[in-house]
Structure 1
Amino acid sequence: MRLDERYVPYLQMARLYHLARMNDKWFRLDEPLVSAFVERWRPETHTFHMPFEECTITLQDVAYQLGLPVNRHYVSGFLTDFHVYIQGAQPAWQWFQELLGVLPPANQIQKFVVNCTWFQETFGECPEGADEETVRRFTSRLEDMGGYSWGSAALAWLYRCICRVANRHVVKLAGPLQLLQSWIFWRFPGFRPAGYDAFSWLLASRWSGYNPSVSEKGPRVQMTRLRIDMLQARDVSMLTSYV
């Protein structure tokens, strides 16, 4: 997704601009590698059971890899001030107007929700040459987003996705798996791709441009399993500071 430069000042105020720039420094998922590690995951303990001991990805890892805050307001779908936003089983239009500067037509309202298609059609892309007032509709309260513990939310979502994939009836990987892959590269140096030796911040940006082979996935999974089986404690990087 292209980063609109007009949003940058608000992302900077939210202290999330560095994460948005990860779009320019991302890397492709190594599915055989991640799949082999996920097989070691135990949902009951949220840990990888390795040959030497258990290990897991922590909030500290999330903070270092993605630079996400971990000690601010928690991210939750629970509204403590529900009455402010819903009145008479419909959205309270006063705050809606103040927040977005525009109201949805009646045919886009379903009881107390507004159709997602309307949001996509209305706010999918900021028009070229838009004035500041229009841009604010697309960035409304974005500067407040830095006050939440996105690192905790990302880690919880990753745990949930890995637990789901650990079920033998689920075959598709999902979730923030680049975070998991970057953690594997950092904690298990033997699995790092060659030629990515420069330190950078965010730490996950070190693997910028990494593009693993998409062929022979089956044999590569088997080979990775064997390599994991042979891991010992000395093969793990226990660094808690990467500078």
Structure 2
Amino acid sequence: MALILGLPTDGLPVTGMTMSSFEALQAECLDQFGVAPCKKECRGCCIKLTWLRDLKENLQLTDEISIRRYVKCHIMLLIGMILFGDKSGAAVHSKFLPLLRDFGSIGQYSWGSACLAHLYRVLCRASRFNCKKIDGPLTLLLGWAWIRLPYLSPLPRKPRSFSLANRYLTLSHFRKAFDELREGQFVWAAYSMDRVDPNIIPLEIYMQSVIWSATVPLVSFECIEWHATDRIRRQFSFVQGVPNQEQNLDKAHGKVLTSPKNLNWATALTHSYWVMHWTNRYNHVLSEVPMPSQYPLEYYMDWY
């Protein structure tokens, strides 16, 4: 999240109150943008992206207030289009707006972990046999896949047959490639100096790297997903042993906002424990002396 999209990964959990009333949505927009959408410019508790886009384009940047409104519009568009998009691709949930009230505190939230929680959730749903579409931060997913599995990246190749689009390979090719994946084809140390020029990544990105290996819940309002770093220890230059029993998120997993919910997810009975677990994330960082070998232990392979 930090290296691919540049999002902060440490900080406050992205959570809080969700309100189902249209009047509350209008009041929040009026307070932050100086203007409120009408009902046709919304979809339930979501604000249509066209309204935000028009507002952003028509703002006159004459003072600090208008500049902040412009930036908030841009952030909401990023949230709705790239970071937390839904399958419609047409609206963004208003639950994120209260987190933008204090302009100076916007960067103090762990937007990276929340976005990753959203990706895990949509991947979980996409794995079901009756799922036909996928949404969420697909820019992140594709970037991750192309970095970790370079042979998947869309590099033009000489076409082997007509049509010329075959130069980009077909779905059957990728399925076969996954089936035949071998040791060494997956890049564990994807951001090492021999793969990424250290001058490309700003030093401040690494300031939060201490918690990248934390085995914790990822929090994004109703969405709780588990960050199972104990199953990808090789990514952090550790030897991969047999991981712990998978975490049971119980009733917190699978919660949705498809129906009206006036609820503070930070203190909700099903979520408060996991929010507190995130707050104690520094106590759950993987600690081990990095090993030069990137090969898994034999007993791990037996377990696998």
TM-score (normalised: structure 2) = 0.40
TM-score (normalised: structure 1) = 0.48
